[in-house]
Amino acid sequence: MLANDLIFIFSTTLMYATPLIFVALGGVVCEKSGVINIGLEGLMTFGAFMASLIAIKTQNPFLGLLGGGLFAMALSFFHGLFSLKFKANQVVSGMAINFLGGGLSIFLCRLFFEGTSMTPPLDLELKIPTFLGQYLTVYLAIFSTIFLTLFFYKTHWGLRLISGGENPKALESSGVNQLKYKFFGVLMSGFLSGLGGASLSIAIVSNFRPTLISGQGFIALSAVIFGKWTPHGAFIACLFFGLTQSLVVYLGGMENPILSSQILSMIPYIFTLFVLIFFMGKTSAPSALSEIE
């Protein structure tokens, strides 16, 4: 019985950690390049809606997954435009993306689905398929973590991107246009956040609704901090957050839960606050974060 419980908790942890991993990786890429992005929540929400919309209209979950990433990338373009081209405050721009992503998703949902704020549920065969008991997005998230780790530390493009967040003046003095790498970081944060939203709306859950994300973009942002702005660190942090979600499901499914459902639902957010309070001062962000030369 114990073995079955542990297997359930492990598999559920991976499932719930996957959307966070995608979004946290997006945050790492963006902030490593030197651009603050607190708009991950809005990007994730917009990606979740567009993935659901495209999957329904095309009857293809993989097109939905790709579309969710691409449309969220398009939305992140505006964060890059205002932050880098017009040198607007990056925190304010990120907050605007949060409002825009959520509002635009509901507006388009009502436009395409006869005034309702949630999409129709996908048929089971139209969701992202599973392999060995896990959605394929789980394996994609693991691959993305490995790929970004190699990209950052084993390629000259990755090292240049990191330089944009650590010492942009040195990057410019070597003849490299730092803005190109920063813009790349912003666009990748949009694409990966969109994948995170899509892995919720067309894999874990079968539709989009306004409460689908419910702060998970901010949880992913805290995972960036907890993971010390590294892909592998963010991955491990997301597993911890996924574990809290898994425990909520496990404890809530007991015949006589030791805690009420309201308290159980608060656990992931309490853990997020714990991380921000006790680990924020012990981590070091890219030294030139938010600086535009």
Task: State the residue for tokens 């992005």.
Answer: 37
On whether the CB atoms of residues 68 and 198 are closer than 8 A, the answer is: yes
Q: Catalogue the E-assigned strands of the chain.
A: 130-131, 134-135
Highest mean pLDDT among 173-182, 199-208, 267-276: 199-208
On whether the CB atoms of residues 210 and 48 are closer than 8 A, the answer is: no
- With CA atoms as reference, report the closest residue to 289 among 86, 30, 85: 30
| Domain boundary assignment for the chain | 18-214
d(CA 92, CA 165): 19
For 180-198, what is each residue's pLDDT tens digit?
999 999 999 999 999 999 9
Report pLDDT for 280: 62
d(CA 222, CA 98): 16
Per-residue pLDDT at 255 exceeds 90: no
Per-residue pLDDT at 244 exceeds 90: no
On whether the CB atoms of residues 54 and 33 are closer than 8 A, the answer is: no
Per-residue pLDDT at 237 exceeds 80: yes
For 101-158, what is each residue's pLDDT tens digit?
999 999 999 999 989 999 999 988 889 999 998 999 999 999 999 999 999 999 999 9
Residue 192 token pair: 């990966």
Q: How confident is the model at residue 21 (pLDDT cuts 50, 70, 90)?
A: very high
Report pLDDT for 249: 82
Per-residue pLDDT at 1 exceeds 60: no
The model carries a pTM of 0.94
Select the more confidently predicted residue: 48 or 245: 48
Residue 155 token pair: 């390629």
